[in-house]
Amino acid sequence: MINNEINETEKLKKLAKFKTQLEKQITDTETHLENLKILSEYVNKTLLKKGFKRAELAKSKTAKTTTLPPVMEYETVVPLKAVTGDLLANLYISQDSMRVTIAEDKTFNVKTPPFQQFLIDRVLNKMQEKDNEGANKSETVSNKNFSYKLILDGDTIREIAIENVTADRLRELKSSIHWTLEKMYEKAENRSNAPDSLF
């Protein structure tokens, strides 16, 4: 009986000691966790601070790069307007390419004359054929030949992209595109102003 009581007392002492150790580990773990949180917060603040400075530095470098030299040396924007002053399209001219973007409030149908008959067949296709013939005779490099691409939305013209434009063709292309769009605009205006019916 006495031995049983001694064994029970020893067990209780061991459990009490173990409880104390557990509580100490819990306290140590909580302290460690708090320290980790403080350290993590410090690291986050440092990263945000350094990251912001790097972003600002990159921004200033980008701004410096884009302003030197001026963009106008590389690309010119020419507004193509009707006689009435309405904007028909914008002509973007780079070193060896052109891009014609139709004004958002204008709708030009690819089937409206003289787009296909004049601009495509007599101007763009002729320039392309001439370069292709020259390439066959080894007069020009094939990957530098004149080429164009129409970007359509159904039958509506959205953009004309022209590649490998030589300096001597620039003026002809500009005037041909402008004249074509003016004629198409006049036809569209005449149709919209025409009376629906005489009866």
Q: DSSP letter string over 113-162?
A: TTIIIIIIIIIIHHHHHHHHHHHHTTSS-GGGS-EEEEEEETTEEEEEEE
**Mean predicted confidence (pLDDT) in 147-166:** 93
Joined tokens for residue 175: 């005037």
Q: In the predicted model, is pLDDT for residue 66 greater than 80?
A: no
Is the pLDDT confidence value at 123 over 70?
yes
Separation of alpha carbons 148 and 130, rounded Å: 14
Question: CB–CB of 178/80 below 8 Å?
Answer: yes
Q: Which amino acid is at 132?
A: N
Rounded to an integer, the average pLDDT of 26-34 is 81
